Structure 1
Amino acid sequence: MARSSLVQVRLGAGADLDGFRAAARSLVAGGVPPEAVVFTSGEAADLFGAPVLPEGEPLSLPRAAADLVQLVACHRDPERWALLYRLIWRLTHGEKALLEVMSDPLVHRLAMMAKAIRRDLHKMHAFVRFRRVETAEGERYIAWFEPDNHILAAAAPFFRNRFGSLDWTILTPGGRVRWTGGALHYGPPATRDEAPTGDGFEEGWRDYYESTFNPARLNTTAMRAEMPKKYWRNMPETAAIPALVRAATSRVGDMMDREPAMPVKRNPDKAVAAMQDQAPRSLDELNRIIAASGPLVPGATRAVLGEGPVGAAIAFVGEQPGDQEDLQGRPFVGPAGQLLDRALEEAGIDRADVYLTNAVKHFKFVRRGSRRIHESPTAGEVKHYRWWLERELDLVRPGFVVALGATAALALTGHAVPVGRNR
């Protein structure tokens, strides 16, 4: 094909998914093969070349392909659009099962790009740190983050759902997003000096991090893999890491030299009473207390907080997080969550409009080999978490609450509720 017959597609900067979808529809409708298309990025999105392409109908792609396109569109690789169009062309020209062939070089490369985006999203969800700022408009929370890819728009709904009651802004080199309670507002690229360098909460956060640091389990290789050093300068707790690492050997020696002592029995009731004294004024404040207070069930790792908008019409309360919830730090993302999603869809309810939480905020499990097997919380453990749940629902103010199972009903009512007789 001569150079003059090439079709050039110019897309907007970043993850211009809408522009790519429109272009792909036109290209497929016009019968333009992948080798005849050149994709470029610019400020404005337009389609030009010869011949003039028709406006295409929506493409019928497998769900897995649509999800892959949405992820890979966020990648920084300039070849992503050409690779994605080649995938779409092959799917719409007879290779319907293409995505099942992981040995195919195109499928493998796109899968690796999608994996990189999922990893980048996970890092952003975990490592964004908001700083409180007092302005003439009131209290605001601002964060600076430097993602590897164009993921700001893909990551923003997570923070909207998690911090729906706050006025917050995330600044990145590629753009910014602000949430004020009504909608997500996107803006131009930012510089680091636009973000605050600290707030009054950070000293307490560093103290908590230092108190939970276990020198006997220090593994700097694993630490750098999970929390790469490039994110450290934006995370207040990392300022303590060098000193903690340097002192780890001597601290372990001190621990070994101490006289054996009987463990101090933890009293969860005192912990709950102490939390009551703190009287959090917002859902974000309560979540900070929950995250910092440590688990009240054995074997748990981190708190899985509630998710959804303040003032939701419906709040769903489950028993406790499962394995996937504990790994991802979000409620109802495992098998039970997938079942709930299907039920919500059949009922015509948008998951983004409801509030989801659990009676117990930590994953209680027993380990069998490499697997972590769910273990139901006791009535006493449910009681210990009950103040958190009641305060959480007071702050969310749902129209009504749905108990998903007997444990949730026990937490909400304070007494055993046989599900079969009270469904």
Structure 2
Amino acid sequence: MSPRVITLESEIDWPGFRREARTLLASLVPPDEVVWQTPGHPAPELWQAEAPPSPVAGSAPMRRLGGSGPSRLVVPPAFITLCEKVVLHQDPQRFALLYRLLWRLVHERGLRQDPLDPDRLRARQMLQSVRRDLHKMKAFVRFRPVGQPEGEPPLSVAWFEPEHHIVEAVVPFFVRRFTQMHWAILTPECSVRWMPAPANSPPLAGEDALPGELEFGPGASKEQAPAPDQGEALWLTYYAHIFNPARLKLSMMAKEMPRKYWANLPEAQLIAPLAAQASERTTRMVQAVPAAPRRRIPARAPLPPVDSMHDPEASLAALAKSADRCRDCPLGEHATQVVFGEGALQPPLMLVGEQPGDQEDLAGQPFVGPAGRLLDRALQELGWPRDALYLTNAVKHFKFELRGTRRIHKSPGQREVLACQQWLEREVALVRPKAFVALGATAARALVGRAVPVMSERGQWLTGPAGLPVLITLHPSALLRGDPAEKDSAWRAWLDDLALASRYIRGEEEGALSQPRAEA
């Protein structure tokens, strides 16, 4: 019996292959009795097409879904994805391989669990080769403008030699990437041309409608590709100047940009001379005298001793300006500005937080964000006028990490706290408060000089700078992050902590350290 010859309409006739494969499987035609041919790879003349054979008597029927009618084959979804790509391969036997795999998937259930099967390995290799060719075409197509008759829109043309039949598959990428550009891509197998729709054209009808006209034509020769232009010379100048000889890896470059593509890349003519000079240029770079680093903001000038500052307000302003230029840790370089303290001098209380947040960083003022609004609410309920207090932070710059376009608060480390210690100490010496309220662990550590377990020591008075009392409590942001079910109880407990310092607002600061919490 002569093999049955199946003729597909084109080299990438995936719908035709899918339709014919279903019919052959329904007729129980084994793979070795089928010959697949395409216009570019016809079957030998001695193979004549025959009518499909009848099912063999006694054979197990194909599994059908949905009752009578054409059978609906049940195969892994990954196999369909594999077929859609493998049909683009240049191997003339790709359709025979895919039908053989389909036949075996239906009749050999164990094939799905055998990744080392030769047919599966070959199909996987072909899939990877096609994917690589698709990627290379997207990366190495270079458009060049060509002259057009007067009144015609500018046309850019590119020449590419794909290894597989991938042009139609990769065209949607170029349509999306260069939607408003009039372009054409020439290849030995076929050519494609895109003409964008005029700006005043009516809206598109249908989800699949293209914003322009796409035409496919016959293949072309390299002689029909446009010659280099002035823009290409500018690109070569730029390419030569960004070349870094110290990072040259020829083996990796040849892997990612194979030599077969070099003939169509304008920068390829520079690769050999630049690579030949790489070793000498790298040596000169290593031996060169290092350039002096440039700071985004000038380094701060040395600070005068605190006891020499006779005008506290002017001294605080000068201190804040100097802190804005601080680079003792990385925070100052990335923050918008320094956020120094503000409030009354010689206040009854100095409230010290952890660090400025996102809104404080933008405004340049402490406690103006969500935590600051919660603190204002507490001050109002306690009857503490904010303008009678002094509010500041242990760390003067905003520490954050980017998540998309958002700046997410990140707790400062010990290095940042120690770097800012000098600013806090000078600030305390100028403000001269009667007592402190440490809002959170970072502030407590900066004021007390040791790690303070806030949850176990909250509501207690500890000794701080110059022997002044420090009340330990939570930072208002801790309440914002807390359990919503315990919101009211946490709020009342925090107010109870703060109320212990009310005696300083009333001028009753004497003996505060010795007063038990129950008497507050």
The alignment's TM-score, normalised by the length of structure 2, stands at: 0.48
Q: Are 2:71 and 1:41 aligned? A: no
Q: Is the 8 A contact 2:195 2:213 kept in 1?
A: yes
Q: Which string of whole-angstrom CA distances, capped at 9 and with x for unpartnered residues, describes residues 346-379 of structure 1?
A: xxxxxxxxxxxxxxxxxxxxxxxxxxxx963677
Q: Which residue of 2 aligns with 1:128?
A: 141
C-alpha distance in 2 between matches for 1:213 and 1:167: 31
Q: Which residue of 2 aligns with 1:270?
A: none
Q: Are 2:77 and 1:63 aligned? A: yes
Q: Which residue of 2 aligns with 1:273?
A: none
CA distance 1:259–1:72, change in 2 (3 Å): same
1:262 paired residue among 265, 289, 292: 292
1:160 paired residue among 175, 191, 195: 175
Q: Which residue of 1 aligns with 2:184?
A: 169
Q: Is the 8 A contact 1:28 1:56 kept in 2?
A: no
C-alpha distance in 2 between matches for 1:127 and 1:265: 39
C-alpha distance in 2 between matches for 1:266 and 1:81: 62
Q: Which string of whole-angstrom CA distances, capped at 9 and with x for unpartnered residues, describes residues 92-146 of structure 1?
A: 3363x74442111111110111011111111111101111123122201111001
2:7 paired residue among 7, 10, 14: 10
Q: Which residue of 1 aligns with 2:225?
A: 195
Q: Are 2:105 and 1:91 aligned? A: yes
Shift in Å at residue 255 of structure 1?
Answer: 0.9
Q: Which string of whole-angstrom CA distances, capped at 9 and with x for unpartnered residues, describes residues 12-67 of structure 1?
A: 44222232122212212222111110112226999973224799556443321111
CA distance 1:44–1:378, change in 2 (3 Å): closer
CA distance 1:264–1:26, change in 2 (3 Å): farther
Q: Which residue of 2 aligns with 1:116?
A: 129
Q: How many positions carry a matched residue from both structures?
A: 271
Q: Is the 8 A contact 1:7 1:36 kept in 2?
A: yes
Q: Are 2:403 and 1:376 aligned? A: yes
Shift in Å at residue 257 of structure 1?
Answer: 2.0
C-alpha distance in 2 between matches for 1:124 and 1:263: 42
CA distance 1:184–1:87, change in 2 (3 Å): farther
Read off the aligned partner of 2:251 and give its amino acid letter: T
C-alpha distance in 2 between matches for 1:45 and 1:184: 29
Q: Is the 8 A contact 1:130 1:141 kept in 2?
A: yes
Read off the aligned partner of 1:84 and give its amino acid letter: L
CA distance 1:48–1:261, change in 2 (3 Å): same
Q: Are 2:156 and 1:141 aligned? A: yes
Which SS does the other structure have where 1:42 is aligned? coil
C-alpha distance in 1 between matches for 2:111 and 2:174: 35
The structure with the larger Rg is 2
Give the CA RMSD over aligned residues.
2.9
Q: Which residue of 2 aligns with 1:218?
A: 248
Which SS does the other structure have where 1:236 is aligned? coil
Read off the aligned partner of 1:376 and give its amino acid letter: R
Which SS does the other structure have where 2:88 is aligned? coil
Q: Structure 1 residues 120-129 or 50-59, which shifts more?
A: 50-59
Q: Which residue of 1 aligns with 2:359?
A: none
Q: Which residue of 2 aligns with 1:345?
A: none
Q: How does 1:315-330 map to 2 (within 5 A)?
A: none
Shift in Å at residue 253 of structure 1?
Answer: 1.6
CA distance 1:216–1:239, change in 2 (3 Å): same
Q: Is the 8 A contact 2:142 2:158 kept in 1?
A: yes
C-alpha distance in 2 between matches for 1:117 and 1:21: 19
C-alpha distance in 2 between matches for 1:56 and 1:193: 50
Flag structure 1 segments of 5+ consecutive residues without an equivalent: 268-297, 299-373, 381-423
Which SS does the other structure have where 2:234 is aligned? helix
* Higher RCO structure (Cα 8 Å, ≥6 apart): 1
Which SS does the other structure have where 2:147 is aligned? strand
Read off the aligned partner of 1:145 and give its amino acid letter: F
C-alpha distance in 1 between matches for 2:229 and 2:215: 24
Which SS does the other structure have where 1:15 is aligned? coil
